[in-house]
Amino acid sequence: AFEEHVSSDPINSPPAKRNDSPQAGNALEPLSKEQILAAAPQWPKLVEMMHGNDSLLRDVLGLLIHEAPRLNRSFSKSLEKGNLHECRRAVHTIKSNMRYVGMTKVAKFAEMLEKLARDEQKTQLQESVDQLSDLIEIVADWAEELLQSHPKAP
């Protein structure tokens, strides 16, 4: 049956060679800080994305500041150990977190890394470690600046 061959769990499904992965040898297009920040949503849009819940937005940004770097370290360490399943899990979560705060360019980059991990493209993943690290730092700084520039009302 068809259902037997389709996993509802994209993280734990076995790697499959699919035609939606980047071609071997193609570098992922670098993203600049300016590109990331130009596409980043501003405070009013973020509050709207959180259904008007300012407190929730503060919590989400606070978590992002701490969790994104931790996930990046997990990605790097897992890659060093050759554990592509854990690499994939880390970038999958990074992708989701970035989408949640409207950082679509970073989310797309993480999605490409997720596909590379799924397809066991270790060399391309290794070539992307520094860029992912830079992007995570940009996003964490962005989140911190947003929180500092929008102090909690007394």
The CATH number that applies at residue 115 is 1.20.120
pLDDT per position as a tens digit, 15-53: 444 444 444 444 567 889 999 999 999 999 999 999 999
Identify whether 35 is part of a domain.
Answer: no
82 dihedral zone (left: phi>0; alpha: psi -120 to 50; beta): left
List the domain range (segments joined by +) for residue 76: 40-148
Q: Could you give the number of structural domains in the chain?
A: 1
What gap in Å lies between CA 84 and CA 26, rounded to an integer? 19
Instruction: Tell me if 130 is assigned to some domain.
Output: yes
Does 25 map to a domain? no
Distances (CA, A) of 108 to 43, 69, 115, 129: 22, 17, 11, 15
pTM for this entry: 0.80
**Looking at the domain assignment, is residue 15 inside a domain?**
no
Share of the chain above pLDDT 70, in %: 82
Give the residue from 55, 39, 38 showing the smallest Cα distance to 47: 55
- Residues 77-109 have pLDDT tens digits of 999 999 999 999 999 999 999 999 999 999 999
What does the alpha-carbon distance between residue 15 and residue 53 come to, in Å, rounded to a whole number?
39
8-12, 31-35, 124-128: segment of lowest average pLDDT: 8-12
